[in-house]
Amino acid sequence: MNLSIIGTGYVGLVTGACFAEVGHRVICVDADANKVRTLQAGGIPIFEPGLDALVRRNVAAGRLSFTQSTAEGVANSEVVFIAVPTPPQPDGSVDLSYIESVAREIAGCLTGYRIIVDKSTVPVKTAEKVAETVKRYRKTDADFDVVSNPEFLREGFAIDDLMKPDRIVIGTSGPRAVAKMREIYAPFEAPVIVTDTNSAELIKHAANSFLALKISYANALSVICEASGANVQEVTRGMGLDARIGTRFLQAGLGFGGSCFPKDLSAFIKISEQLGYDFQLLKEVQRINSAQMERFLQKITNTLWVLKDKRIGVLGLAFKQNTDDIRSSPAIDLCQRLLKDGARLKVYDPQAMEKAKAVLKPGPALEYVATAEEVATGSDALVIATEWPQFGKLDWTKVKSSMATPILFDGRNLLDPSEAATQGFTYKSIGR
């Protein structure tokens, strides 16, 4: 089928490439001229494992192309997906201006029936607003349906998540749209749930808030474990092996970050408030998440005492492993706070350093280095801030001998505490 995707970012590009991979012809549209030029020249503007090869293969096969023109996308596709940003506003509500502007653009070039699919994460009732907007701004009486089709991919595992989804949610009232959406997703062989648009929109916010809740639950347990001498990894594993609970998203650490959980949680709290419900449970999830970072920083100051001029190596800048995304990254937050207290940092991340430089400017107190080992050299302490698996496999004997004082703060529980102690580290992790 001929498809277009408006917004070629972490969601739009991977979705477009996966749709092309199963045989659809996809036009990816983006307003950012640099991004489109990079893609047209064969470059990939983001890091996502496997994406480079997937995009190349489908471009070469003539199934995937890139343009800056929404009109070109809409003219040449039966179904138009919207995957533009829905960033948070200062009060936690969602900035829907990108969605509104794309809805107007689509309306302006609608000449025949189209299915307009919202893949961005949006508040309940957005599909209704999109439909109203398209109706108001269309220049012909061309018919259309609006579908809410939330995306559940995890950055770092996006291709796998898209090719083998747990479920596909199709929210719409139009039978014609349901049939087309089923056809688009048939090759993925996943369970399909058909709902009204409001329910589909709520599914996404409800799911992300629940996952954030699981993480905060594990983090709250980590406090109890530290106070009682228990080990949070053993406790969460023991809990998670109960099939009703599940082990995933039950890891204690520095707290959740990224472009989705913090903003989706704030948005859901705000949406609930607007609908007359004070979602105290989710406010507590947020509070636990911020407290987790405070507690970790406290551990660092309790151990190092004065931070001014302490040389601290930080391993990881991305908000999690396998991505170059630094949006709302706890690692970046941690660096900013350490710098504010006068520490001198050496930092390293396998993928996120270029993006990090835009928010953490290199300078006399902040040096970007080329390897994980260099981060340790001469430092008073080392912090693991992102759970890249390679950080757990460093040659710790070598690392220790290169440090000024062998103090290790493991914000992701990557190492075994007794092994770290055997190596001679003063080792602090989370809830163990």
Cα 163–Cα 38–Cα 102 angle in degrees, nearest 5: 70
Point out the catalytic residue in the list 28, 109, 225, 260. 260
CA distances from 354 to 34, 177, 307, 319 (A): 16, 41, 26, 14
Q: Which residues, other chains included, contact 48 with Cβ-Cβ below 8 Å and sequence gap of 6+?
A: 10, 13, 14, 155, 156, 158, 159, 323
3-state secondary structure of 329: coil
Kind and range of the H or E element at 130?
Answer: helix 126-137
Q: Which residues bind ligand NAD (CB under 6 A)?
A: 6-12, 29-32, 35, 70, 83-86, 98, 101-102, 120-121, 151, 153, 155, 259-260
| 216 versus 259: smaller Cβ distance to ligand NAD | 259
Helices (H) and strands (E) in the chain, counts: 18, 14
| 11 versus 376: smaller Cβ distance to ligand NAD | 11
| 257 versus 313: smaller Cβ distance to ligand NAD | 257
| 95 versus 128: smaller Cβ distance to ligand NAD | 95
Work out how close the CB of 97 gets to ligand NAD at its nearest, in angstroms, rounded to a whole number: 9
Work out how close the CB of 395 gets to ligand NAD at its nearest, in angstroms, rounded to a whole number: 33
Q: Which of 321, 356, 152 is nearest to 251 (CA)?
A: 321
Cα 402–Cα 403–Cα 407 angle in degrees, nearest 5: 140
| 260 versus 403: smaller Cβ distance to ligand NAD | 260
Contact 114, 79 (CB under 8 A): yes
According to DSSP, the β-strands at 168-171 and 79-82 are unpaired
Q: Which residues, other chains included, contact 9 with Cβ-Cβ below 8 Å and sequence gap of 6+?
A: 30, 46, 83, 84, 85
| 11 versus 200: smaller Cβ distance to ligand NAD | 11
Residues in the chain, overall count: 432
Work out how close the CB of 405 gets to ligand NAD at its nearest, in angstroms, rounded to a whole number: 38
Work out how close the CB of 339 gets to ligand NAD at its nearest, in angstroms, rounded to a whole number: 26
Work out how close the CB of 151 gets to ligand NAD at its nearest, in angstroms, rounded to a whole number: 4
Contact 182, 172 (CB under 8 A): no
Q: At what angle do helices 10-21 and 51-60 cross, to 10 degrees?
A: 50
Work out how close the CB of 280 gets to ligand NAD at its nearest, in angstroms, rounded to a whole number: 24
By Cβ distance, which residue is nearest to ligand NAD? 9
Work out how close the CB of 13 gets to ligand NAD at its nearest, in angstroms, rounded to a whole number: 8
**For this structure, is 225 an active site residue?**
no
The rounded distance, in Å, linking the Cα atoms of 323 and 313 is: 20
- Considering only CA atoms, give the Rg of the chain: 23
β-bridge partners, 94: 88
Q: At what angle do helices 197-228 and 280-304 cross, to 10 degrees?
A: 40
| 121 versus 292: smaller Cβ distance to ligand NAD | 121
Q: Catalytic positions, please?
A: 260
